[in-house]
Amino acid sequence: MHLIVTFTPLKLKTININKMKKVLLILTIISMIAISCNMEVKETNPLLTEWDTPFNVPPFDKVEIEHFVPAYEEAMNQHKAEMEEIMANAEAPTYENTVEASYYAGELLSKVNAVFGEFTSVNISDEIQQLAQEIYPKLSAHADEIRLDPRYFERVKLVYENKDKYDLTDEQLFLLESDYKGFIRNGAALLEEQKEELKKINQELSVLTTKFSQNVLAEVNRFKLVVNDEADLSGLPDASIQAAKETAKDEGIEGWVFTINKPSMIPFLQYADNRELRKEIYNAYVNQGNHDDEYDNKEILKNILNLRVRRAQLLGYENHASYVTEPRMAQNPERVFALLQDQLWNGILPKVKKERAALQAMIEKEGGDFKLEPHDWFYYTEKLRKEKYDLDENEVRPYFELENVRQGIFDVAEKLFGITFTPIDGIPVPHPETTVYEVKEADGSHLALFFMDMHPRASKRGGAWCGQYQGHSYTKDGKEITPLVNNVCNFTRPSGDKPALLSADEVSTMFHEFGHALDGMFAETSYEASNIAWDFVELPSQIMEHWAFEPEVLKMYAKHYDTGEVIPDELIEKLKASASFNQGFGKTEVLAASLLDMKFHMMTEVDPDLEVMDFEKEYMNEIGLIPEIYSRYRPTYFRHIMGGYDAGYYSYTWASVLDNDAFEAFKETDIFDQETAKAFRDNVLAMNGIKNAMEMYVGFRGREPKTDALLNSLGIEK
């Protein structure tokens, strides 16, 4: 409810005292009504009241869509007022009254953002998507209004220039330097007309990137491969067939329904004997957002890339890639290309060409008279895996029951860090499928809450990610705020009388996202502020993948869902022997996407005629990508580069250097060596975002990272 009151200026000399009293009485009544209405809104809007929930968890169970607009209006107004108080402060700027004060400002806005972000990720609806299109440009404008205000920048600048006069902690000094450089990078030193142009660009990007992601979700939800003839299910495992039957039932469709959600699509590509249907589902996947209809993303991506060129050059950079990489470990695009192309791409291409030849030979051995195509790769890879290693993924799945794998990651964390995970009830959750765990230190003290949402649904975006509703910090009076961390995945659902049985890739993903979660749980940040080098951010996640298939770890969690039998040594040996199988394909997919991302963002001129699909084709031909493989993400569904991983998808590979080198430290002692684990926690996980990335790594490893371990794992000579 909103009450808008307008006032017309009064000519006081024409009004007598009695009339003035009446006017004042009327104004008082109007004011009281306005206050009453405002109080009513706050009392009925759970986002605007004190959260009377355990551990300050957002009241997900009480929030409705109509609560967001008034909550955002109030939150942004509060933030503006708090920042205005800082900027209008007549006292000389200090760290406490300027920088630190800004960290305590905007608390309500952070809380509303946390809830809305979850709604737009796991509770998606048409109303939410429309609301996102309205809200995100306003948030962009709000952020620009603050960071481009010259009064605030001048205060921060004075604090920065006099930083030696303050007794700052290492964290405060790191954040101050990061903030100051961030202001420069975000346009604080621009002329006023340039600032206005920057604001406009940022708002346009906010709208376009949101629309791009919404289009991808729409594409995923609308494609359905309907199978009516049971013969077309030949080759598929029973679990995949049963899941497709249940999907069809949910959709009110006769037969079996397969989708381009990976738990449905990947088994189909691996096992379905019907080549034409494999082609149909694969082509649907690789052409998301590329159908010249209302969900087409080509024009949107072109506009995004051109806006990023304009913004980078407005800020004094040659291109967006130079702008993005400057504060990161890579420092510049040239170092990224040196790793991706010179050291890895040229070394991995011979491997993937050998894999292609082996698959073509398999086709011919079976009497096929056709050339291997992209939709064939998964199918013949599984056949070759079976022949070469006597290993069928369906032989492994029964040992990877989701609940057992979940317990496995918890047990690994306990053996490394001493922490425990206990299911906890009575906690508001963003979706009924979400489970919650209380995380405690070895001494029993509370560390964090951990939320897990594991399966795909139409109201949830694809992929897997880690987020948090609340990070670690302290209030002004020194009270500790503990983390609320979440893992969201899209894993295989239970099917029929079988529980959720994961693929080896899904197991690896669970360990990966759990690594991100540990990073959030162990954070020792003092404020709701940090500055993580984005090409360092994947180290905590990717290092955890190394534990997933260690024999000692498999014996802990890989138990047959039906018999309880621990995975046999014979199967472990097969997994180990096949670990490098098809590695050329996997690494080529990722490197191609990383290089394409960088090449897009190396553009130095606005190109109104840019054809993004032609750009992709020409560049992939230039670097020699074989036609039997596509980039892992093609331009029209490359959702990573809509924010965070733009000119940054290389981060996964950059972090591979770090995680392979870091895991060597455990292998040099013991994979569960607690002293090494403590060093990793203290130097990396606890400090991530409040210390220079290279300093963190050297603090843990005693030296800078080497590429040797990664190259060895890929069979590439240095």
Active-site positions read 513
Strands 465-470 and 446-453, by their bridges, are unpaired
The DSSP secondary structure of 310-323, one letter per residue, reads HHHHHTT-SSHHHH
CA distance to 119, 210, 260, 456, 699, per residue, from 222 (Å):
20, 19, 10, 14, 49
Classify strands 484-488 and 465-470 as parallel, antiparallel or unpaired.
antiparallel
Give me the residue label for tokens 């494999």: 278
Residues facing residue 440 across a β-bridge: 420, 446
CA distance 693 to 658: 11
Query: What is the separation of C-alpha 68 from the centre of its chain, rounded to a whole number of angstroms?
Result: 23
Distances (CA, A) of 332 to 602, 619, 648, 677, 689: 11, 20, 11, 32, 20
How far apart, in Å, are the Cα atoms of 95 and each of 35, 168, 179, 479? 36, 8, 12, 20
Rounded CA-CA distance 638/631 in Å is 10
Who contacts 131 (Cβ-Cβ below 8 Å, separation ≥6)?
65, 68, 69
Query: Largest Cα–Cα distance in the chain?
Result: 105
Euclidean distance between CA atoms 57 and 44, whole angstroms:
18
100: enclosing H helix or E strand: none
200 φ/ψ angles, rounded to the nearest 5 degrees: -65, -45
Give every CB contact of residue 582 below 8 A, 6+ residues apart in sequence. 355, 381, 385
59 burial level (CB within 10 Å; 0-12, 13-18, 19+): middle
Return the amino acid letter for 252: G
Q: Which two tokens stand for residue 192?
A: 């006023």
Long-range contacts of 285-292 (CB under 8 A, 24+ apart): 285/260, 286/374, 286/630, 286/634, 287/634, 287/636, 288/216, 288/219, 288/220, 288/260, 288/634, 288/636, 288/637, 289/212, 289/215, 289/216, 289/219, 289/636, 289/637, 290/613, 290/634, 290/636
* Residue 518: burial class (beta carbons within 10 Å; 0-12, 13-18, 19+): buried
- Count other Cβ atoms within 10 Å, centred on residue 286: 16
Cα distance between residue 557 and residue 565, in whole Å: 10
Percentages of the chain per state (helix, strand, coil), in multiples of 5: 60, 5, 35
Specify the DSSP element, H or E, that contains 439. strand 435-440
